[in-house]
Structure 1
Amino acid sequence: MGKVLGLVKLCSLMLAPALVLAQDVSFDDIQPILQARCVMCHAGDAAPLGLRLTSLDELLKGSSIRQVVVSGDPANSELIRRLKGQSQPRMPMTGPPFLSDAEITLVEDWIAGGLQAGSRPADATARPAPLLRPSEGQPVTYEHVAPIFASRCVKCHSAYGLMGSAPEGLLLNSYAAILDRHERVRVVPGASGASELVRRIRGQSQPQMPYDGPPFLSDEEVQLIVDWIDQGARDDTGQPAPSPVGSRVRLQGVLGEGWTLDSLQLVVGPGTRIDKSPGVGDVVEVRGRWGQDGRVLVDRIRRR
């Protein structure tokens, strides 16, 4: 019996440092992680499932369907399950990279220690970072527009989005995915007017995106994306993307004089299929390919 009690005491002593460490972690330690990786999506009226992570009070409220943290029980806290990928989609939805092991452990310790509040008021709000703009004379790169995609688009356009799989297979959670041209090209570097992504966020192509709008993207956000594309859709190192010559495009807009689509020049030839007798001023859908000379080579045009 004495040996058993001795082992219990020994185990208690071994666990004590870990318990003290967990209790020492407060929301002061957690909020910077949420601010950097989570608040861009989980804030305001558009927060997925109503889960706002902008303050301790909001986090403790949980989502519209469940609590996401269980005091003293990290293993049964949905927040931890999402951060580790035990529940899908794994968070943050902009990953990889996801949170580091050290960051996840810190959140686990905070939950295990009883969700200590820290020094700030429980309703103190961390706001999403303002738009990131390049320095004067520098080009717009993916680094500047990625937060917009992350906060307004990735919630649906990811492998495990709010609508299930990404609509039309379009992933917007990485630079490579946004520039993908396998099925058709949505971003034409150097030509925002020929980029379906721009036409969607402007409402020239329907349905207007983001799908959960209004509110849709602000004029500033739209202009930053337009500038990024017109300046070559540069990656985060500043390297411009190659022109997707020959890639399929699908665009909607208003037909203008001389076979133009909202001033974008179209090439309509003998092989072009013309449906429903479109005329100037009609809203049309155009399918074709991006040409070497910066024009759309039209395979089909039809009035909508």
Structure 2
Amino acid sequence: MPDHLPGKLAIALVPALLAGLQGSAAEPTFNDIAPILQRRCVLCHAGPQPPLDLRLDSLAQLLKGSQRGPVVQTGDPTGSELIKRLKGISQPRMPLTGPPFLSDTEIELFERWIAAGLKPAVEPPATDAMANPGAAPAATLGTTLNYSHVEAIFARRCTKCHSSHGLMGAAPEGYLLSSYATTLAYDDRARVVPGSADASELVRRIRGQARPRMPYDGPPFLDKTEIALIVDWIDQGARDAQGKPAPLPGGAKVRLQGTLGANWRLDTLPLKINAKTRSEHSPQAGDYVQVRGRLMHDGSVLVERIRPR
């Protein structure tokens, strides 16, 4: 009987030893967290003006928290605002570019990391991934632009409102800027006219030609470089991330605002007028006006109604 005790004891100890090893190996570090932050969060939460001053491009910045205080509580996932936002317990749910939001597995990883004590990286996170978070690919003179060049601007400055669960609740006028498809959608009306930035309501808003100027939380508004990048992207055909130009949505409704100039121009945009055009309250050159019309198949705007605002 005694001869068999060591063997039985060893067998009995195996599950406990394995559980201990698994528990140790399962404790995440910032190495596990950083790639998710980079992929889903730092488009907005990085740079000089992140929402609520919350930067997520390093462990130090994450632990620093936001203007409202810490976003993670060591050992307490349930009480951590970061987890509440990722799960949608606190609104707006994060990331604002969702859905899709983080998967259950990704959220569980954050919870285990917080519960385990916010362990730092066992080795530095990849410098390429975190060195310039949220930056668009470099655009130089003559660059053929695609959606990846402008996506970070929309995510950082626009999707805080123009997403399904933004700071204002539902997206204003239902316009979502959280993906390429929604940015170019024209079910209601076209806000982006591929090949014509001047005819694009989005551009007129960020330039301040239309009121209110966007982003709504400005100033500061987008800088000249950011605006020029978006303008060039649209003028080049509003290409998707793979470089394919978007089709012109001929027949789509447009609603534009700006200053009426001579010869039926809206700022620099020529307008088409015909016998069916309704001109209300006698708009004059120099007036700030609203134009409702249709986008023609040649890219021009046929005015259905024009009136001073």
The answer to whether the superposition gives a TM-score over 0.5 is yes
Paired residues of 2:83 and 2:111 also in contact (CA < 8 A) = yes
Gaps of 5+ in 1: 1-8
| Aligned residue in 2 for 1:91 | 94
Contact 1:251 1:286 in 2 (8 A): yes
Q: What is the rounded CA distance, in whole Å, between the counterparts of 2:69 and 2:16 in structure 1?
A: 34
Matched, 1:130 2:135: yes
Aligned 1:1-304 pairs, distance under 5 A = 13=17, 15-21=19-25, 23=27, 25-43=28-46, 46-65=49-68, 67-85=70-88, 87-99=90-102, 103-118=106-121, 128-133=133-138, 139-304=144-309
Shift of 1:49: 3.7
* Contact persistence 1:55–1:126 (CA under 8 A): no
Report which stretch shifted further, 63-72 or 283-292. 63-72
Name the amino acid aligned to 1:21.
A
Q: CA deviation at 1:136?
A: 7.2
Equivalent-residue separation in structure 2 for 1:232 and 1:268 (angstroms): 25
Q: Aligned partners of 2:108 and 2:22: how far apart in 1?
A: 12
Offset of 1:204 from its aligned partner?
0.4
Question: How far, CA to CA, are the matches of 2:180 and 2:150 in structure 1?
Answer: 10
The answer to whether the Cα contact below 8 Å between 2:165 and 2:171 also exists between their aligned partners in 1 is yes
Aligned equivalents of 2:77, 2:20: Cα separation in 1: 18
Amino acid at match of 1:265: P
Shift of residue 102, structure 1, vs aligned partner:
5.5
1:239 and 1:231, CA in 2 relative to 1: closer, same or farther beyond 3 A?
same
Deviation string for 1:114-159 (max 9, x for gaps)? Answer: 11344799xxx96534332357765211121111111110110011
Q: Is the 8 A contact 2:92 2:167 kept in 1?
A: no
Computed over aligned residues only, the root mean square deviation of the Cα atoms, in angstroms, reads 3.0
| Cα distance in 1 between the residues matched to 2:49 and 2:63 | 18
Q: Note the alpha carbon deviations across 1:70-120, whole angstroms, 9 max, x for none.
A: 211324433234334555443222234544566444433321221134479
Partner secondary structure for residue 150 of structure 1? helix
More displaced, 41-50 or 225-234?
41-50
List per-residue Cα deviations over 1:22-68 (Å, max 9, x = no partner).
55x43354334323431221235643344332443432343444642
Of stretches 105-114 and 26-35 in structure 1, the one that deviates more from structure 2 is 26-35
Relative to structure 1, the CA distance from residue 199 to residue 120 in structure 2 (aligned partners, 3 Å threshold; closer, same or farther) is farther
Could you tell me how far apart the structure 2 residues matched to 1:90 and 1:126 are? 26
Could you tell me how far 1:241 is from its partner in structure 2? Answer: 1.2
- Letter of the structure 2 residue corresponding to residue 78 of structure 1: E
1:191 maps to a residue whose letter is S
Q: Percent identity?
A: 59
The two structures have a TM-score, normalised by structure 1, of 0.84
Contact residue 92 and residue 169 of structure 2 kept, 8 A: no
Question: Partner of 1:294: helix, strand, or coil?
Answer: coil
Deviation at 1:226, TM superposition (A): 0.9
CA distance in 2, matches of 1:127, 1:143: 15
Amino acid in structure 2 at the alignment position of 1:276: H
| Preserved contact between residue 194 and residue 235 of structure 2 (Cα < 8 Å) | yes
Unaligned runs of 5+ in 2: 1-12, 125-129
Q: For residues 184 and 147 of structure 1, what CA distance do their matches in structure 2 show?
A: 24
The AA in structure 1 aligned to 2:36 is I
Paired amino acid for 1:300: R
